[in-house]
Amino acid sequence: MNTQHLKGKTILITGASSGIGKATAIACAKAGMRVVLSARGLDALEQTAAQINMAKDAFGDTSGGGDAIIIPCDVCDDDSVQTLFEQTLDAVGKIDVLYANAGYGLFASIEDTADKQIRDIFETNFYGTVRCVNQALPIMRKQGGGHIIICSSACSEISLPMYGYYAATKAAQDSMAGAMRAELAGTEIHVSTVHPIGTYTDFFNQVSNKAGKDVGLNTPDSLMQTPEHVAKCILKNIARSKPKPEVWPHWFTRLGVSLCTAFPGLGAKVTRKMHQRKSG
């Protein structure tokens, strides 16, 4: 993978304090990109920045790239998101890539999910993405190009028992990205979605905290990957002259999801059995 042309380019990452966001930030910095780290927690962002700076010392001169800039932001707040983009432009003058990654999971049946829980997860996962995209698009139009990446999920295409509303937010992100892709055809603004399977991150710990109980991984071991693997797939797509519209870090899942989409009855049976195996 040739990433030489990425040196000095800027990527803004929300949800950069942990998991896939953090791994992507480190991978992009190693490729020489300026990385704007954003999340709500300042301490965790500082730890990510420290890792990037240590890595920068190890890989040497990056021609102005490889720098980490911390700008805390709550994607649920309009003013906070606007400030994030304004401060990014003040600091580096451009945004070549936006990775809208901030989000969380929710483990609950459709019947038992409270209205507030539904609204809260859409506020972060979907409307948080909307806020960032609405800020990024005018900037990228003025620049004459850019790359918007949205962290969706494999379950954007096929929902999972007990993750119905989480999957709904991911499907909404995917539909939004597809519409943007068509609307921006003929411009130099590219739109990609990322569709990870289960990853070994704090995701499931956060899900357990939201659920008030330990829900475990709730994903077969064969469908788990490291955040570093997902980050490598994202970086590879950023490095392409024409980025792919979708990044699937686990190609077999893409095939399985396609079959389940074509045969929804089969899809429901498969996901139900998967859930029963993990919960039983």
> Which string of b and e fits 141-150 if b means at least 16 CB within 10 Å?
eeeeebbbbb
Q: Yes or no: say if 155 and 248 are a contact pair by the CB < 8 Å rule.
A: no
Q: Yes or no: say if 17 and 37 are a contact pair by the CB < 8 Å rule.
A: yes
CB atoms within 10 A of CB 68: 23
> What would you report as the CA-atom Rg of the chain, rounded to the nearest whole angstrom?
18
φ/ψ (deg, to 5) at 151: -85, 100
Active site residue 166: yes
First CA to last CA distance, the chain: 43
The CA distance from 125 to 131, in Å, is: 11
Could you give the angle at the alpha carbon of 188 between the alpha carbons of 232 and 84, nearest 5°?
65
| Catalytic pick among 99, 163, 165, 166 | 166
Which residues does the annotation mark as catalytic?
A: 166
